[in-house]
């Protein structure tokens, strides 16, 4: 065996063992029939896939795409100025970058729960607003679409900032000066020079935010309560309370297929996403 | 030459810097600079790195705002105006061509911002001027170094600015190309008649290109003058040392090519011992020590190879070649 193959072996084993094999199992489950008391078995069927085309699931899928889209747009709008600011902040740059990555040092679950404590009726925001007499009844801050969106934007923002930062950091600042020199006002420079050059970073950021947001189930579960069922919650429910593994497997594969087709559609011009 | 026809009227100074200083938190980059450029002049700002020449250029461009002083451009003080409101244009050291735009789109960029008319004609004219016709639809990444430099020139020239600013325009080119581009740049400037203000650390570049040179050191102007004046009548020891080599005998300066060598004593000659000889291709540089222990460099033709280390020789020079400083 050549040295090259020896070094490639661990990665190959991990990929096969932890990705291909489970995916094959999921595929197999999605084609099985659910047993009367949960569990699954033969005969093989496509019924699980057919069931997904119920309008109820269509609505869930649409809602998932909608909230993932909102999250992506908000993260790009918030992340871009921040990434630009970090790029231009000289010696404090490393410190600011570390602050962006700081949330990763705390468990995702803990951070999301923290929002519950801040947003609930007896939470920090409502307590302060009521104590100062601004409101007399607690505002419904938790268990709605807005709370889920907030949680998703909060968790995804660093994933948007980092790729945008990496393209802006490579941008030769004399481009910006050249644009001004040629008569462009700052807003024109932003739209005609900086954004076009930063497009690869923005595209990478969009994917890093959109794909995980599309499949989220914890954020929607904790901050949305029962009111905001997303595709991730649907899949989770099939594997837990509903005990319908074949349908859960089919739903997750359909989601994956949609994402892959979308990825292909965006990258077929030969451009790299990441 | 429709675009540049108006530039030949012999106006007064197109650009005048008066008492311009720039103080950064850590240091004083530019200190009380005075500078006047008549219309159509090719002016070079030279000096060692950190002397303030680039900061001076950037204050004319509008990238830095002077701490004190006025920048008069065509009679108007533009010191506090942003770059996009000044009738100057910069050719950057890195060229700063927009990578996502073609050569044509790069050149059009400034014309569109200024809502110019006949954009197609102007683009065609400047691209013809810099010999980039036929490369209009290429992206900057597909251009050679020399082509990038010419595209950047075309982009700035298209705006027919009152003053064209060049920040080390030739430093990114390889040395073989630099000689040729230097001649082209000079010819181009003569043809369009636009005032050029160029920053360079390359003394040879300044001497060959510029009508007048300003030598800067530690944020201050040491001397402004024609290449002849700067080289033959340097105002300060720094100028003498910076442009060309210099021998020092006490406080008196003497250029190596004005220092003559002979095997026999002549009137007023000084005995010396050759300690070293360096072959430079077209020249030989001889290092010789005189009685006062000072070592002088003598430049001789390569055909004059009869001098060897250890030889006892005699050095002499003409009185008018001596440089004296206060």
B241 Cβ contact partners less than 8 Å away, ≥ 6 residues apart: none
Check residue A217 and give its pLDDT.
84
Region of poorest pLDDT, from A30-34, A39-43, A241-245, B114-118 = A39-43
Whether A184 sits inside 8 A of B84 (CB atoms) is yes
Rg of chain B over Cα atoms, rounded to whole angstroms, equals 23
Report whether pLDDT(B8) > 70: no
- The domains of chain A, with CATH numbers, are 31-175+202-266 (1.10.3720.10)
What region does A161 belong to: left with phi over 0, alpha with psi -120 to 50, or beta? alpha
Among A231-240, A242-251, B61-70, name the most confident range: B61-70
pLDDT in tens, B34-70: 999 999 999 999 999 889 999 999 999 999 999 999 9
Rg of chain A over Cα atoms, rounded to whole angstroms, equals 23
User: Considering only CB atoms, which chain B residues are within 8 Å of A179?
Assistant: 98, 109
Angle at A94 between CA A92 and CA A99, to 5 degrees: 95
Whether B113 sits inside 8 A of A184 (CB atoms) is yes
Q: What is the mean pLDDT of chain A?
A: 87
Reduced to 3 states, what is the DSSP secondary structure of residue A98? helix
Check residue B151 and give its pLDDT.
94
pLDDT in tens, B269-287: 899 999 988 888 888 999 9
Report how far residue B256's alpha carbon sits from residue B321's, in angstroms, rounded to the nearest whole number: 10
In SS3 terms, A55-80 reads as HHHHHHHHHHHHHHHHHHHHHHHHHH
User: Considering only CB atoms, which chain B residues are within 8 Å of A175?
Assistant: 96, 98
H-helix or E-strand spanning residue A187:
helix A186-189
Full strand arrangement of the beta sheet holding B195-200: B88-91, B163-167, B195-200, B42-46, B212-217, B220-225
Report how far residue B11's alpha carbon sits from residue B166's, in angstroms, rounded to the nearest whole number: 22
Average pLDDT value for residue range B94-110: 94
Task: Write down the pTM of the prediction.
Answer: 0.82
Check residue A271 and give its pLDDT.
57
Report whether pLDDT(A270) > 70: no
Q: Does A182 touch chain B (CB under 8 A)?
A: yes
b/e B87-100 (16+ beta carbons within 10 angstroms → b): bbbbbbbbbbbbeb
Report whether pLDDT(A49) > 60: yes
Report whether pLDDT(B315) > 60: yes
Among B159, B173, B194, CA closest to B39: B194
Q: Does A195 touch chain B (CB under 8 A)?
A: no
Check residue B138 and give its pLDDT.
94
* Res. A104 pLDDT band, cuts 50 70 90: confident
Number of A/B CB contacts below 8 angstroms equals: 61
Q: What is the mean pLDDT of chain B?
A: 90
Q: What is the dihedral of CA B74, B76, B82, B86, to 10 degrees?
A: -20
What does the block give as tokens for A130?
């009521």
Check residue B171 and give its pLDDT.
86
Reduced to 3 states, what is the DSSP secondary structure of residue B312? strand
Report how far residue B150's alpha carbon sits from residue B44's, in angstroms, rounded to the nearest whole number: 19
Q: What percent of chain B has pLDDT over 70?
A: 97
Cβ-nearest to B96 among A177, A192, A199: A177
Check residue B4 and give its pLDDT.
60
Check residue B181 and give its pLDDT.
86
């Amino acid at each position: 065996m050549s040295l090259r193959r020896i070094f490639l072996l661990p990665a190959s084993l991990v990929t096969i063992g932890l990705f291909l094999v489970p995916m094959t199992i999921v595929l197999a489950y999605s084609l099985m029939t659910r047993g009367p008391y949960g569990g699954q078995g033969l005969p093989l069927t496509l019924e699980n896939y057919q069931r997904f085309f119920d309008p109820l699931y269509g609505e869930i899928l649409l809602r998932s795409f909608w909230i993932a889209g909102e999250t992506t747009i908000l993260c790009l709008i918030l992340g871009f100025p921040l990434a630009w600011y970090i790029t231009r902040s000289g010696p404090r740059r490393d410190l600011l970058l570390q602050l962006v990555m700081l949330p990763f040092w705390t468990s995702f679950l803990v951070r999301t729960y923290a929002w519950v404590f801040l947003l609930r009726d007896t939470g920090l925001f409502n307590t302060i607003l009521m104590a100062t007499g601004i409101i007399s009844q607690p505002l419904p801050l938790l268990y709605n679409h807005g709370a889920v969106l907030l949680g998703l934007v909060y968790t995804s923002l660093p994933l948007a900032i980092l790729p945008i930062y990496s393209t802006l950091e490579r941008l030769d600042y004399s481009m910006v000066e050249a644009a001004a020199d040629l008569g462009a006002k700052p807003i024109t420079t932003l739209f005609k020079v900086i954004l076009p050059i930063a497009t690869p970073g923005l595209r990478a950021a969009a994917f890093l935010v959109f794909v995980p947001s599309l499949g989220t189930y914890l954020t929607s579960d904790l901050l949305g309560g029962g009111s905001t069922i997303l595709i991730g919650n649907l899949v989770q429910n099939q594997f837990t309370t509903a005990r319908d593994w074949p349908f859960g497997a089919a739903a997750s594969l359909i989601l994956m297929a949609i994402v892959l087709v979308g990825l292909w559609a965006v990258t077929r011009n030969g451009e790299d996403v990441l | 030459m429709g675009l540049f026809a108006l530039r030949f009227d012999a106006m007064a100074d197109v650009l005048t810097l008066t008492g311009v200083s720039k103080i950064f938190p850590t240091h004083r980059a530019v200190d009380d600079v005075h500078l006047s450029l008549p219309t159509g002049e090719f002016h070079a700002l030279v000096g060692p790195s950190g002397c303030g020449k680039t900061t001076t250029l950037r204050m004319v461009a509008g990238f830095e705002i002077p701490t004190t002083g006025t920048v008069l451009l065509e009679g108007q003080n533009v010191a506090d105006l942003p770059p996009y409101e000044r009738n100057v244009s910069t050719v950057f050291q890195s060229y700063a061509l927009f990578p996502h735009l073609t050569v044509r789109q790069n050149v059009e960029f400034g014309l569109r911002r200024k809502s110019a008319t006949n954009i197609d004609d102007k683009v065609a004219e400047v691209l013809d001027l810099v010999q980039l016709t036929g490369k209009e639809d290429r992206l900057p990444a597909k251009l050679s170094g020399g082509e990038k430099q010419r595209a950047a020139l075309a982009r700035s020239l298209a705006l027919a600015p009152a003053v064209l600013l060049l920040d080390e325009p030739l430093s990114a080119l390889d040395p073989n190309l630099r000689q040729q581009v230097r001649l082209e740049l000079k010819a181009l400037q003569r043809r369009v008649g636009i005032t050029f203000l160029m920053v360079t650390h390359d003394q040879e570049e300044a001497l060959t290109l510029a009508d007048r040179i300003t030598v800067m050191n530690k944020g201050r102007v040491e001397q402004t003058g024609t290449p002849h004046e700067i080289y033959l009548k340097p105002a300060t020891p720094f100028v003498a040392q910076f442009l060309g080599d210099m021998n020092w005998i006490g406080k008196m300066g003497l250029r190596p090519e004005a220092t003559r060598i002979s095997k026999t004593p002549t009137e007023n000659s000084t005995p010396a011992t050759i300690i070293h000889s360096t072959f430079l291709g077209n020249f030989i540089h001889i290092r010789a020590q005189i009685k006062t222990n000072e070592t002088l460099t003598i430049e001789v033709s390569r055909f004059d190879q009869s001098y060897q280390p250890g030889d006892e020789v005699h050095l002499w020079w003409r009185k008018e070649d001596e440089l004296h400083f206060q």
